[in-house]
Amino acid sequence: MAIERTLSILKPDALEKGAIGKIISRFEHAGLIPIAVRLQHLSTKEAEGFYAVHKDRPFFKDLVSFMTSGPVVLMCLEGENAVAKNRELMGATDPKKAAPGTIRADFAKSIDANTVHGSDSLENAKVEVSYFFRTTELFSYSHKK
Ligand code: CMP
C-alpha cells in the first residue's frame, strides 16, 4: 500500500463539543499522522472556494454558513492508504447512515454539522491539501513503536 496524504477538517461542531483530542487520537491510533495542523476561522470566500465543486447544490449556502460559524482545525494526515482509511474512520456523510463506531456516528448531529471533512480521492486530496497548506508547512515523521 502506498503512503498518501489527505486533508482532514474538524468542523465547528467538533470544536464546540470539545472533541478535537478524541478525534485526532482516532487518526493517530489508525496510523494517520497529522503532518500539518492549524486552527483557523474560515472566511466566506475561503469556504466558498474550498467547496466550489458544490456551488450549484441546494445545500451550498447552508454548508458555507456552517463552515464559517466558528473556527475549524485544518490537518494534513499522512499514512498508508490515508484517503480511504480516513473516510472509513469518518463514516458516511449523513451521520444517520454512518456505521457504528465511526466519528460521524459517535459525534455528528446532522448532515450539515457532520463533524469532519475528508478528501474523497487521492486527486482531490492533493488539491485540498494545497488549498490550505504550502509544501513548507508539511512536516513528515513516523510513529516509533
Ligand atoms: P463534506 O465531507 O464536508 O463535503 C460537503 C458537505 O456538504 C458534506 O460534508 C455535508 O456536511 C454537506 N451536505 C449537506 N447536505 C448534503 C447532501 N445532501 N449531500 C452531500 N453533502 C451534503
Helix (H, G, I), strand (E, B) or coil at 3: strand
pLDDT at site 34: 98
For ligand 1, residues with CB inside 6 Å are 54, 59, 63, 93, 111-112, 114, 117
pLDDT at site 35: 98
- Distance, CA 141 to ligand 1 centroid (Å)? 32
Which residues does the annotation mark as catalytic?
Answer: 117
Positions of the chain with pLDDT under 50:
none
Q: Are 39 and 73 in contact (CB under 8 A)?
A: yes
pTM of the model: 0.98
pLDDT at site 1: 74
- Distance, CA 101 to ligand 1 centroid (Å)? 20
Nearest residue (CA) to ligand 1, atom 18: 59
Contacts of 20 (CB under 8 A, 6+ apart): 10, 14, 73
Reading the block at residue 48, the C-alpha cell is 466558498
The neighbouring-strand residues paired with 116 are 10
Q: Which atom of ligand 1 is least distant from the CA of 90?
A: 2
pLDDT at site 145: 73
CA distance 64 to 34: 25
Nearest residue (CA) to ligand 1, atom 14: 112
